[in-house]
Structure 1
């Protein structure tokens, strides 16, 4: 697949502040980092593959800072219009859509990952995701663990989890 330079919008306007509150964590986190997943929304601008004819879209993953504002709270800015469209394939302008947001919480030996769709940020409703308490534990080798939503299967084991609450707020 061809790689092309994607321009960033020099004046993005659709900004949401993402607040992440860590609830009942078994210990501190060293840092948190965020990334956004953008995909081309109009496939007609993408060149078809030579044999199959399938139009395979490119994705971009710009990172953003999650700033610690309290022992259990981080904030970061998520932009829905960070990437500018371009005519990358000579088939018309490709436009970008923010698909999802991913957050990595780091301890000395672990990376705990949480991800959700961009629509969840736009809803401006709190979203809780859960990590097993054991996922936090430090060991000799780094672990890589992902958050899960609460469901009927894991509800009965709630005392074995800690949660992270994400809330988006449109900033004008």
Structure 2
């Protein structure tokens, strides 16, 4: 395993090691289903997301619109790369999907649709997703596949350099639909990169483990959603 850049302080180790192990050894979804319920790369480009997408049809006239906002506080520097994706999963793959001839089971059907995030201030970005972005249809000749939003997520990088740290945060579908929000805290020491190239930082939901005099070394990312007219 490459040498991982972690601070020598014990509390940094406790906060970071679990996330590092998950990012290195297993899919993120197995570690924290609030962050990533998809096996696709979280910072995939639009072209890559489309290439990896399963058989699905996009709705030309979606109506169920939600605005997603990303707000930063105490950021250690600029983020030139801010990508967003709305992950959709088929809710009834067992009814409508095809059996994989290799594993003899019906795999999960999931798709990541890009979110175009625009800068609205020095610390805030916004984009729109549609709950009905993918058409429910009989794609495999078995039954109608019902698509549902799993989460809206973002990944921030200091620059487009692939070695830079990826700061990753996702808002689950239930929070999106309820017009809710969540805040996650990230250690600024991983900006712009850790010694481990392309390190994925999932952040932490609270600061309880961090001594009060060290909390200034963290920045926060808040994701919020609200329903808007389409």
Normalised by the length of structure 2, the TM-score is 0.66
1:30 and 2:89 aligned: no
- Name the counterpart of 1:149: 205
Q: Give unmatched runs, 5+ long, in structure 2.
A: 1-52
Cα distance change of structure 1 residues 51 and 110 upon mapping to structure 2, 3 Å threshold:
closer
Gap regions ≥5 residues in structure 1: none
Q: Is the 8 Å Cα contact of residues 70 and 224 (structure 2) preserved in structure 1?
A: yes
| Corresponding position of 1:114 | 169
Q: Which residues of 2 match residues 1-172 of structure 1 at below 5 A?
A: 5-43=55-93, 44-50=95-101, 54-108=105-159, 109-138=164-193, 141-150=197-206, 152-154=208-210, 158-172=215-229
Structure 1 position 160, deviation (Å): 2.9
Counterpart Cα distance in 2 of 1:158 and 1:122: 31
The structure whose RCO (Cα within 8 Å, separation 6+) is larger is: 1
| RMSD of aligned alpha carbons | 2.4
Q: Which has the higher strand share?
A: 1
Runs of 4+ in 1 over 6 A off after TM superposition: none
How far the C-alpha of 1:155 sits from its partner, in A, is 7.2
Change (3 A) 1:154 1:99: farther
Normalized per residue, which structure has more helix? 2
Q: Secondary structure at the match of 1:128?
A: strand
